Amino acid sequence: MLVGERDVPAAFALRHSEAFPDPFDRRREIGTLALESLAHRVRVHIASVRQNWSVVPQDVSKRRSELHLLDVREPYEWDAGHIEGAQHIPLGELGPRLAEVPQEQVVVAVCRSGSRSDRAADGLRMSGFKAENLDGGVTAWLRAGLPLVAKGGGPGRVI
């Protein structure tokens, strides 16, 4: 963690008086977006907290209006079921279509399980975007009880 311009070791008690000595080892327990909120509350800047992190579906769902979802799956996967309002650009087309992705919001890359979208998020960050990966992809999204929509507008499914 950085306080001012110096590294400062820190620990936070978050659960049942359990010390939280290293946010990078246990980041998934409290979620990326929750860490940012925690850092703001204690007036500490966490350097690069968003880089190379995954976010969980519940965090994305709660902050949906602040985020831009980018689904990088193939067209047949998208047609079967996607998160309503997400942008669709297959991973293989992302490079040439980068100008279509807005830079004003944090981009959350999405795929079936989180593997392709992790590569997409890495590439977006290298291109100057603020980007994260949806941990577990649309599979985790659906498992969390969040809706998917099919191409025709009905309920979606993961294939």
Question: How do the pLDDT tens digits run along the chain, 159 residues long?
Answer: 444 445 555 554 455 544 444 443 334 444 445 555 555 555 544 443 444 456 999 999 999 999 999 999 999 999 999 999 999 999 999 999 999 999 999 999 999 999 999 999 999 999 999 999 999 999 999 999 999 999 999 999 999
Contact 143, 149 (CB under 8 A): no
Lookup: tokens for 54: 């995954």
The region that residue 26 occupies, defined by phi over 0 for left and psi between -120 and 50 for alpha, beta otherwise, is: alpha
pTM: 0.68
> Catalytic positions, please?
111
